[in-house]
Amino acid sequence: MSGVAKSPTGAPRRALAPRVAAALSVSLVLTGCAPEPDGEQLTVLAAASLREPFAALETTFEEEHPGVDVTISFGGSSDLADQVEAGAPADVVATADERTMARLSDAGLVASPTVFATNVLTIVVPTGNPSGVESLTDLGRRDVDVVLCAPEVPCGRAAAAVTEGAGVTPHTVSAEPSVTDVLAKVALGEADAGLVYVTDAATEPDDVETVHTPEAADVVNRYPLAVLSDPPTPDLADEWVALVTGAEGRSVLSEAGFGTP
């Protein structure tokens, strides 16, 4: 497996050094051999919070499609939308909210988005909860450094909806481009608390603790995915969507803590 921002079990291929590549080419010519053609490649752009389940589905897809290499690029949904608008050669895009996907759909860049999962936020604190954060209200304390997603990304908009609905103004010290960045800062002890999706909180059980956040139940993020309007491998793109939205995909997503639409 190869590609940019692959799952922790995959690693990007390294380009051959120019001299090595040239020597290899000469060797192939002299021996009358030609390099074997590469297999097909499926490129998926996905919200950072989908890293764990999509990495698992990547393995499943490649096992079911011998010779196919799946490349998944994870990031903030708004950044992914920017890539699609810039003409990134991708097949499928999955965002963490419908608003971002609507931006692409309205521009005619994707076809028939389908909601396949839901998610909600929770407060996370470093293990041991050194600042004694016990509720959403505590995020407004001046002695509690809070890190949130930037307002232009889905987790940031959800965090704003949750805190504003509760009448809380967080003591925010940093606004991050993705939910995984928020989680990392809290896990490293660089912030006293943060708001992340419950699915992300579950990926760092040794470094963070969750604080009951009942207010978040009223702000549900719905995750859509769609095939781009002119994908490089349309058949594979449709099969990826079928995997994610089918029984196998639902099972993997549920195990990761996602809700069903």
pLDDT at 137 over 90: yes
CB atoms within 10 A of CB 156: 22
CA nearest to 193, candidates 168, 163, 170, 161? 170
pTM comes to 0.80
14-50: pLDDT as tens digits: 333 333 333 333 333 333 333 333 589 999 999 999 9
Alpha helices in 179-225 (DSSP H): 179-187, 198-201
The model's pLDDT over 48-84, given as tens digits with 9 standing for 90+, comes to 999 999 999 999 999 999 999 999 999 999 999 999 9
Predicted confidence at residue 19, as pLDDT, reads: 32
Over residues 170-217, the pLDDT tens digits come to 999 999 999 999 999 999 999 999 999 999 999 999 999 999 999 999
Q: Which helix (H) or strand (E) holds 93?
A: strand 92-94
| Both structure tokens of 63 | 């096992």
Could you tell me which residue, 34 or 117, shows the higher pLDDT? 117
What pLDDT, on the 0 to 100 scale, is given for residue 99?
Answer: 95
Give the residue range(s) of CATH 3.40.190.10 domains in the chain.
18-118+222-255, 121-218
Choose the CATH number for 18-118+222-255 among 3.40.50.620, 3.30.70.1380, 3.30.450.20, 3.40.190.10: 3.40.190.10
Tell me the average pLDDT of the chain: 88
Distances from the Cα of 231 to the Cα of 91, 173, 197, angstroms: 4, 40, 30
For 94, phi and psi rounded to 5 degrees? -130, 125
Per CATH, domain 121-218 is 3.40.50.300: no
pLDDT at residue 244, rounded to an integer: 98
Give the pLDDT confidence score for residue 39 in this predicted structure: 80
